[in-house]
Amino acid sequence: MPRPPSVDEDQLGDLIAAVFRAKGYEGTGIGDLATASGLQRASLYHRFPDGKEQMAQVALTHVGRRFAAILAPMRDDPDVARGIAETARGLGEFYGFGALSCVLDTMTLAGAPAPLRDRARSLATAWLDAMTDAARRAGHRPEAAVRAARDAFVRVEGALVLGRVTGDTGVFAETVALLPSLLVPEDRA
């Protein structure tokens, strides 16, 4: 009878994604993934026959699923402002309140395989589109909504870099707390 996996697909995706997002594509070794997952390297190749690049794709897929869940309130809550606030909380938690990095940053350095970079771009676009749409529904004009979403993206990514470089996670915390005021117009907050 088939042997059950020692870690299920989703757990494995989570563990792998954590390594890639901290160390980037080239900085991540199969040994790092083995250590993080509790599997031997050969077992990882059994799960992902196409090797490291496939493992990285799995990491991005996992992040995409996590992100979709985080963005859901902003997209679905009839009270858009409340949904945005809930999504902001989710983002804060997802990024370890400023202590973690973003795969969109760390996995897109020059040297990463083009398919990975493409996938990262589509993740970024999905996130930006979701914020733009929410800002629009919250009362922003189309142009202002696009700008607000870009601004939110820029501030989150920049605050994560600041946190990693200086060790100060406070700016990220403030940034996340500020997100609703960015995406919801003054007079609708």
Exposure string over 157-185, b if 16+ CB within 10 A, otherwise e:
bebbebbbeeeebebbeebbeebbebbbb
CA angle 27, 30, 33 (to 5 degrees): 90
Q: Which stretch binds DNA (CB under 7 A): 46-54, 100-108, 115-123, 126-134?
A: 46-54
Closest CB to DNA among residues 45, 97: 45
Q: How many CA atoms lie within 13 A of 61 on its CB side?
A: 12
Q: Does 37 bind its own copies (CB under 8 A)?
A: no
Q: Tokens 């009839």 — which residue?
A: 78
- Pick one of 22, 47, 181, 185: the residue that binds DNA (CB under 7 A): 47
Q: Which of residues 75-134 bind its own copies (CB under 8 A)?
A: 101-102, 104-106, 108-112, 117, 120-121, 124-125, 128
- Total binding residues toward DNA, as defined by CB under 7 A: 23
CB 181 within 8 A of CB 189: yes
Q: Does 78 bind DNA (CB under 7 A)?
A: no
Q: What kind and span of H or E run contains 127?
A: helix 114-137
CB of 3 to DNA, least distance (A): 3
Residue 76 CB neighbours (<10 A): 10
Task: Give the interface with DNA as residue ranges (CB under 7 A).
Answer: 2-7, 28-31, 38-43, 45-47, 49, 51-53
- Residues near its own copies, by CB under 8 A: 22-27, 101-102, 104-106, 108-112, 117, 120-121, 124-125, 128, 150, 153-159, 161-162, 164-167, 171, 175
